[in-house]
Amino acid sequence: MKIIGTIGDGNFLVEATFREIDYLAGRTVGSQQGYYSSDRKIQTGTTFNIVKAFDQIHRNDRRKSEVESLRATLKAILVGLDMIEPLIEEPNPPEEKKEEVA
């Protein structure tokens, strides 16, 4: 992506490849060729709300440590549950005595 110029306060005119547009949009929208060899063109003036997507990525990144902590806690709980002895053991049927044939 290349900044070509500025348009007012905080706005830029950019040059972007179809692949860069796909990455910014989070899906295939700018590729030169669509499914079944149909051409896909982006109209001038098309807008992409990528700020919302990147906000979600950053929120997920901040939550990563919380998720890892929760994973460790759940793992410890599962290990603890494996160590608990059953309160009531299953009954074992008496062993049958085999008579020896002489």
**Is residue 67 located within the same domain as residue 44?**
no
Domain that holds residue 78: 51-83
CA dihedral of residues 15, 19, 20, 26 (deg, nearest 10): 140
Whole-number Å distance between alpha carbons of 51 and 53: 5
**Is residue 1 located within the same domain as residue 44?**
yes
Which residues fall within 8 angstroms of residue 20, CB to CB, at 6 or more apart?
1, 30
Contact 24, 48 (CB under 8 A): yes
pLDDT at residue 5, rounded to an integer? 92
Q: What is the pLDDT of residues 5-61, one digit of tens each?
A: 998 888 888 898 888 888 877 777 766 665 565 566 777 888 878 888 788 888 888
Residue position matching structure tokens 């982006």? 42
Q: Within a domain: residue 92?
A: no
**Is residue 28 located within the same domain as residue 65?**
no
Q: Within a domain: residue 25?
A: yes
Q: Is the pTM of this model over 0.75?
A: no
Residues in the chain: 102
**Is residue 42 located within the same domain as residue 55?**
no
**Is residue 63 located within the same domain as residue 43?**
no
**Is residue 65 located within the same domain as residue 79?**
yes
- Amino acid letter for position 2: K
